[in-house]
């Protein structure tokens, strides 16, 4: 018994990565029996998102979808229920949705254990709800849809206009956590957080081959987004990304311990005086002399108001000629509302980032 305990302790010690989310649950070979532990592993501004932790498990058993009358076993049937649910899958699935997947509150979509993708149709909309966790899903090739009646609760429907074709749209929602997803090639953004949303964490995701990656804030005139707080942490921004990683308006954004590999226009952009707290990231510029600058302020050429915006680079590693133009006040007090966790040293990211995106979790083994 002592020997088994020592062996397990050694496994756990070897598995520790310095990534506080993964170190919270991935060291347990019985993760499948203890799935809901994940809900207590959140960090950053979305750390209060509990998803379906306090509800029953719901097993998705079919790839089929019906936007108006989903039946038991469909993903859509699960996400629109009123009660908290922890949603899992019973086999590998490639789901093409008829219309946007309108989430209800207190839901976890947990793809661990199987290869689950949502693709080649409209994708996920988290609108006007709270406490949603999306974990371990490959979301790609999302397209617009709409002008259709779509169920959003067991006894309620919406007439939806044309959607943008985002991978995940977070609209007027709070306490949202998107973790360990792989995302690429959607018609609009991979993740948009807009219209008064706040309390959001985007972590451990792998994003690649996409133009406008993440939009934070609805418009320059939408002042309700001044209270927005978003954490973007431990993500791997891979090949073929162009811009908006993220693009921010108003609000407070903690961009921490991510790896950026060769943006084609810029990495972090913004307008309307957002506060950008960039800490412990690795920015690896491409070889092109035209794409060394990390940042972009969306302002008229003659307007120097941006110089007062609080954008800082603290402990970032700037590689292959990458440059980060800072602005505003460098004091810590200026970034209090844009601080959500303790940044790890950027030099440690070699151990953290290889596990970004959907994990290959096999039941009975360390994930």
Residues annotated as part of the active site: 244
Under DSSP, the state recorded for 223 is: G
- Cβ within 8 Å of residue 59, ≥6 positions away: 73, 88, 89, 90
Give Cα 265 to chain centroid, integer Å. Answer: 21
Q: Please, are residues 198 and 231 in contact by the beta-carbon 8 Å criterion?
A: no
Say whether 24 sits in a helix, a strand or coil. helix
Q: Please, are residues 296 and 266 in contact by the beta-carbon 8 Å criterion?
A: yes
How crowded is residue 41: how many other Cβ atoms within 10 Å of its Cβ? Answer: 17
Say whether 184 sits in a helix, a strand or coil. strand
Q: Please, are residues 117 and 84 in contact by the beta-carbon 8 Å criterion?
A: no
Give the H or E element holding residue 352.
Answer: helix 349-352
Q: Is 175 left (phi over 0), alpha (psi -120 to 50) or beta?
A: left
């Amino acid at each position: 018994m002592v020997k088994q305990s020592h062996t397990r302790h050694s496994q756990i010690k070897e598995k520790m990565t310095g990534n506080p989310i993964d170190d919270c649950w991935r060291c347990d070979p019985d993760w499948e029996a203890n799935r809901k532990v994940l809900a207590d592993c959140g960090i950053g501004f979305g750390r209060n998102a509990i998803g379906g932790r306090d509800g029953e498990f719901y097993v998705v058993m079919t790839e089929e979808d019906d936007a108006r009358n989903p039946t038991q076993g469909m993903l859509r049937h699960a996400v629109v229920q009123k009660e908290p649910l922890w949603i899992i899958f019973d086999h590998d699935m490639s789901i093409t949705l008829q219309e946007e997947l309108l989430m209800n509150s207190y839901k976890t979509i947990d793809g661990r254990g199987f290869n689950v993708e949502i693709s080649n149709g409209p994708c996920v909309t988290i609108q006007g709800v709270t406490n949603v966790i999306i974990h371990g899903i490959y979301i790609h090739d999302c397209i617009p849809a709409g002008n259709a009646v779509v169920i959003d609760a067991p006894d309620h429907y919406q007439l939806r206009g044309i959607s943008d074709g985002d991978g995940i749209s977070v609209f007027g929602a709070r306490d949202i956590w998107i973790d360990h997803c792989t995302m690429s090639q959607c018609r609009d953004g991979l993740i948009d957080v807009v219209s008064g949303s706040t309390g959001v964490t985007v972590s451990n995701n792998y994003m690649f081959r996409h133009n406008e990656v993440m939009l934070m804030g609805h418009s320059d005139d939408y002042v309700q987004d001044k209270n927005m707080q978003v954490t973007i942490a431990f993500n791997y921004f891979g090949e073929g990304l162009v811009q908006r990683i993220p693009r921010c308006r108003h609000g407070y954004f903690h961009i921490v311990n991510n790896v950026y590999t060769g943006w084609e226009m810029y990495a972090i952009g913004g307008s309307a005086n957002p506060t950008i707290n960039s800490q412990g990231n690795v920015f690896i510029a491409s070889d092109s002399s035209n794409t060394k600058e990390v940042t972009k302020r969306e302002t008229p050429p003659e307007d120097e108001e941006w110089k007062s915006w609080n954008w800082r680079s603290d402990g970032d590693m700037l590689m292959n000629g990458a440059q980060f133009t800072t602005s505003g006040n460098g004091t810590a007090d200026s970034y209090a509302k844009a601080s959500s966790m303790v940044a790890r040293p950027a030099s440690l990211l070699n151990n953290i980032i290889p596990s970004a995106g959907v994990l290959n979790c096999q039941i009975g083994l360390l994930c």
